[in-house]
Amino acid sequence: MSHDPSCLFCKIVAGQIPSRKAYEDEEILVFHDIHPWAPVHLLIIPKLHIATLADISEEQHAALLGRMTALAPRLMREAAVTNGFRTVINCGADGGQEVYHLHMHVMGGPRPWAKG
Ligand code: AMP
Ligand code: ZN
C-alpha cells in the first residue's frame, strides 16, 4: 500500500492534517514532533506508506533509508544543533512504536530533555 487513508502520517503527507514542516522532497517529508522530547525534535518520514522498519526490503528501500539517515545531520545543522543529536526508530509493539508509518526521530539541543 503506498498510501493508507486511515494513517495519521499519510494524512500529514497529503496535507489533510497540518504539520510544521522542516524539509520536503519527492519521497521524504520532515516535520516537527507535536510532543517534542528535546529542544529540536524532528520526524523524518518516507511519503510512501511503510508501516514499520520490519516492513522494509533491502532491495526496495535501502536507498530511501540511506537518504533519510543522511538528512539527519544536515537538518540538525540547519536547526543550529551543534553539540550532537539522537536518532531513534521505534519498531512494532515491543519497540514502543505508536504511529504505524515508518519514521525516524531526530532530537537535539541543550539538555536536560523532557525524555530520552
Ligand atoms: P513513535 O512512538 O515512534 O511511533 O512516535 C510517534 C511520534 O509521533 C510521537 O513522538 C508523537 O508525539 C508524534 N506525533 C503524533 N501525532 C503527531 C502529529 N499530528 N504531528 C506531529 N507529530 C505527531
Ligand atoms: Zn502512512
Q: If the chain, 116 residues long, is cut into consecutive pieces of 10 residues, what is the mean pLDDT of each piece?
A: 94 98 98 98 98 97 98 98 98 98 98 94
Smallest-distance ligand from the CA of 3: 2
Could you tell me the distance, in angstroms and rounded to a whole number, from the CA of residue 39 to the centre of ligand 1?
Answer: 15
Among 70, 26, 68, residue whose Cα is nearest residue 47:
26
Does this model's pTM top 0.95? yes
Among 106, 114, 111, residue whose Cα is nearest residue 28:
106
CA atoms within 13 A on the CB side of 37: 12
The pLDDT score that the predictor gives to residue 116 is: 87
Q: Is 103 a catalytic residue?
A: yes
> Around ion ligand 2, which residues have CB less than 5 A away?
4, 7, 9-10, 49, 101
Considering 49, 101, 103, 105, which one is annotated as catalytic?
103
Query: Which grid coordinates belong to 77?
Result: 545543522
Task: Indicate the DSSP class of residue 53.
Answer: G
